[in-house]
Structure 1
Amino acid sequence: MNKNYRPNVSAVVLTSRYPSSCEILIAKRLDMKDIWQFPQGGIDTGENPQDALRRELREEIGTDQIEILAQYPDWINYDFPSPVAHKFYPFDGQSQKYFLVRLKSDSLINIATENPEFSDYTFVKFDKIFDRIKHFKKPIYKQVLDYFKKEGFLSC
């Protein structure tokens, strides 16, 4: 059976103090209980991934004032978990392009956007990220962070 994946971007957002401080932004979803994640969102028809990344960051964290440090070389597919899959019909999951970005200023973050998706956000130290990320995307996040670290794009 062929699956229908929605094209999507996701951002590993480093604090503006990086590399002297290696902290990554995670945000708590409004629509799910205790789910923390990286900012992410769909790619509109005719939009390239970098433009989608900047638009999604504006929509979700109130700023696109970032420097793109790297991108994961491949698209990563995942299926929506069954309890929420019906909300995303006709898509079975998402095909994500991950970017590593550094904020130009942490003070620009504002999650009280026009259509808020997050109730809270925080910066966590690299070695503490999985104390908060416990959902089904944990292996994907680990794969992406390990790649950025191994390739020298992320020095933590």
Structure 2
Amino acid sequence: MTDPDSLPYRPCVGVMLVNREGLVFVGRRSGMAPPIGEDHAWQMPQGGLDKGEEPFEGALRELWEETNIRSVEPIAETAGWVTYDLPPELVGVAWKGRYRGQRQKWFALRFTGDDGEIDIATPAGGKHKPEFSEWRWESVDKLCSLIVPFKRASYEEVVAELAPKIGR
């Protein structure tokens, strides 16, 4: 078994996308199955940074690759990086065993388009594999209960820092 402490964190970004009503975009991860189950299969857009990519640029790219959304304006970002560790059964398996978890920079962005812009079936103009099977707008107060348990503490940290800045 791989010793998690010997592995680095995967550099990532996340997006808290907020609509005009102060609700946050969440997507149901494709292929989520027990033991995680569908109750915890929802998350905000997020993903790995490309080599040399600036975090804000990576956040815009990830949002586009997962949702097709480009109509946004920045609201806020986390002061630092938020980390989470994978559960022991996923260390050595996820991301080809190269990481112990993720180190994420989160951005709150205001969605300035209309819902017709959102396309999770053929995101990035059809150039990216769909990551979500469905999506919805959700209250910021419910976000932490929708995420897989091993990411919950990181979501609590992100919500605590960014929710006061989104102008609900």
The answer, yes or no, to whether TM exceeds 0.5 is yes
The answer (yes or no) to whether the contact 2:29–2:131 under 8 Å persists in 1 is yes
Task: Map 1:1-156 onto structure 2 (within 5 A).
Answer: 1-15=5-19, 17=20, 21-33=21-33, 34=38, 35-85=41-91, 86-88=93-95, 89-105=97-113, 106-112=115-121, 113=123, 114-133=128-147, 135-149=149-163, 152-156=164-168
Mean Cα deviation higher: 121-130 or 36-45? 121-130
**TM-superposed deviation, 1:101:** 0.6
- Structure 1 132/79 Cα, relative in aligned 2: closer, same or farther at 3 Å? closer
Structure 2 regions of 5+ residues with no counterpart? none
TM-score by length of 1: 0.87
Runs of 4 or more, structure 1, over 4 Å off, are none
Question: What percent identity do the matched residue pairs reach?
Answer: 33
Structure 1 regions of 5+ residues with no counterpart? none
**TM-superposed deviation, 1:47:** 0.7
**TM-superposed deviation, 1:72:** 0.3
- Structure 1 97/116 Cα, relative in aligned 2: closer, same or farther at 3 Å? same
Aligned amino acid, residue 154 of structure 1: I
The answer (yes or no) to whether the contact 2:143–2:155 under 8 Å persists in 1 is no
Instruction: Say which structure is richer in helix.
Output: 2
CA RMSD between the two structures: 1.7
Task: For residues 96-129 of structure 1, give each alpha carbon's deviation from its aligned partner in whole angstroms, at most 9, with x where no partner exists.
Answer: 0010011111321100123011101100122333
User: 2: distance between equivalents of 1:128 and 1:92?
Assistant: 27
- Structure 1 146/91 Cα, relative in aligned 2: closer, same or farther at 3 Å? same
- Structure 1 98/125 Cα, relative in aligned 2: closer, same or farther at 3 Å? same
**TM-superposed deviation, 1:82:** 3.0
The answer (yes or no) to whether the contact 2:16–2:106 under 8 Å persists in 1 is yes
User: 1: distance between equivalents of 2:147 and 2:101?
Assistant: 19
TM-score by length of 2: 0.81
User: 2: distance between equivalents of 1:118 and 1:37?
Assistant: 9
Task: For residues 49-96 of structure 1, give each alpha carbon's deviation from its aligned partner in whole angstroms, at most 9, with x where no partner exists.
Answer: 111111111110112221111000011111122343302111111110
